[in-house]
Amino acid sequence: MTTPIEGFSKLTKDEKIDWLVTNYTQDQESAKKLLKRYWNTDTVVQKLHDEFIENTISNYYLPLGIAPNFLINDTLYAIPMAIEESSVVAAASKAAKFWLNRGGFKTTILGTEKIGQVHFIFKGDVEKLNNFFAQVKPKLISDTSAITKNMNKRGGGISNIILLDKTSKLENYYQLHCTFETLDAMGANFINSCIEQFATTFKEEAQNHNVFSEIEKDIEIVMSILSNYVPNCLVRAEVSCPVSELSTDVEKSNAFAKKMIQAVNIAKVEPHRAVTHNKGIMNGVDAVILATGNDFRAVEAGVHAYAARNESYTSLTDASIENGVFKFWIELPLALGTVGGLTSLHPLVKLALEILNKPSAKELMQIVAVAGLAQNFAAVRSLVTTGIQQGHMKMHLMNILNQLGATTEEKTTLTNHFKNNAATHSAVVAAFENLRKE
Ligand code: MEV
């Protein structure tokens, strides 16, 4: 039985690996070799990765793919996507090509407001608290001047602070709800620094506020933290074309448009379907978020909260047919950054941003929303036409063949074979074994 370890973080990388493989692996030499095989031979790059997190022992690679031909607001983009799931990049590329000759994607920024909150407990007269807040608000802002100076110079900063009475939800619970404009930065550090200062000032000033009773003076700050729910940091992306242009065959076009609407309507009213529908959207969103060094967990959390904003979890995309025009759109809350954080540290992230023509945060929001919309269009299109497995299995076939250790020649033979045969896992294994026997 393994015993707990003290001071693991203080060990060198090699010592950490030794301890790990000794205590948790069967074949220690192989495990060590494997971990080291994924070290970068460029020591500068490896050092960077070592320092991104704590206790780094190796690197975990994801493929970086490119989905070209995205026409967004009349500019052509090749979108970098970091993702392990086969078919996603292919689907994005297919959707991009489909809309390329149908006007491309149009996007609009609907808002860029970020949020931070100071959660606190106040036991006393709410009227007195309201008056105190009105009095102290200018000082809350002036006390953060050292933090906000540069952001203010660039045109961002604190937008507002309001006091919210949350006592109907939780006894004595109040909140300073603070809004920010963080320009091209995602803003987490900026927001958290500001609200921690708000909390300090708020507590100190309360202690000196003579109108408060002793109990009222004793405001308890529970926590100060940004919110990843950013419903007013919102982007819209849209595609549209006459129904008749959806395919070369008029009947097929009409049927396809109607089925797309039905599929979206189902995702709008049925949470089980909505979750999978939105998962497909996030295939595109997360892949671009990762490639551009943004925080996909933050985006995931915020996007799903947005999908549930009207009590029932629903589709993030919508579709309509009006006056013979098919329209398909998405609205996504996205708090992204194109400066700071990993964006200036990770060499591949820097390259991804260069490929995207060094976008502002607003431009990146638009590109990401387009990736999500394209992914959803491609997924729902195959679901309502051929079904998802046909395309999926083609890509999956290559993964199975790689797992089996097929040679290039064997891959070509078997890819041809499975053009006309269902590429289930067992069928691929059987065909591979037969080929080897031959
Ligand atoms: C698979 O990763 C994503 C899909 O399930 C999305 C969808 O069903 O819309 C294909």
Report the sign of the C-alpha dihedral through residues 248, 249, 250, 251, in that order. negative
Percent with pLDDT over 70 in the chain = 100
Identify the pLDDT of residue 209: 98
Report pLDDT digits (tens) over 194-230.
999 999 999 999 999 999 999 999 999 999 999 999 9
pLDDT (mean) for 15-41: 98
Query: Mind listing the pLDDT tens digit for each residue in 149-199?
Result: 999 999 999 999 999 999 999 999 999 999 999 999 999 999 999 999 999
Percent pLDDT > 90 in the chain is 92
CA 4 to chain centre: 35
Ligand 1, atom 3, lies closest to the CA of 280
Residue 41 has pLDDT above 80, yes or no: yes
Q: How far is the CA of 88 from the centre of ligand 1 (A)?
A: 9
For residues 22-48, average pLDDT: 97
For residue 419, what pLDDT band results from cuts at 50, 70 and 90?
confident
**Cβ(150) to ligand 1 under 6 A?**
no
The string of pLDDT tens digits covering residues 110-137 is 999 999 999 999 999 999 999 999 999 9
At residue 388 the predicted structure's pLDDT band, cuts being 50, 70 and 90, is confident
CB atoms within 10 A of CB 63: 12
| Fold held by 114-227 | Alpha-Beta Plaits (3.30.70)
**Residue of higher predicted confidence among 231 and 86:** 231
Q: Tell me which of 33-42, 52-61, 70-79, 413-422 is least confident.
A: 413-422
pLDDT value for 305: 98
CA 386 to ligand 1 center in whole angstroms: 14
Task: Give the pLDDT score at 118.
Answer: 98
What is the residue with the minimal CA distance to atom 6 of ligand 1? 280
State the pLDDT at residue 52. 95
Domain boundaries, the chain: 8-50, 64-111+231-385, 114-227, 392-437
H/E stretch holding 302 reads helix 296-307
Find the range with the poorest average confidence among 228-232, 240-244, 327-331, 408-412.
408-412
pTM of this prediction? 0.92
At which residue do the structure tokens 């009947």 appear?
Answer: 251
**CATH class of domain segment(s) 64-111+231-385:** alpha beta
Q: Is the distance from CB of 171 to CB of 188 less than 8 angstroms? A: no
DSSP bridge pairs for 332: 235
User: 389: Cβ below 6 Å to ligand 1?
Assistant: no
**CA–CA–CA angle 307, 309, 312 (5° rounding):** 75
Smallest CA separation from ligand 1 atom 9, residue: 277
Residue range 248-270, pLDDT digits in tens: 999 999 999 999 999 999 999 99
Residue pair 288/205 in contact (Cβ under 8 Å)? The answer is: no
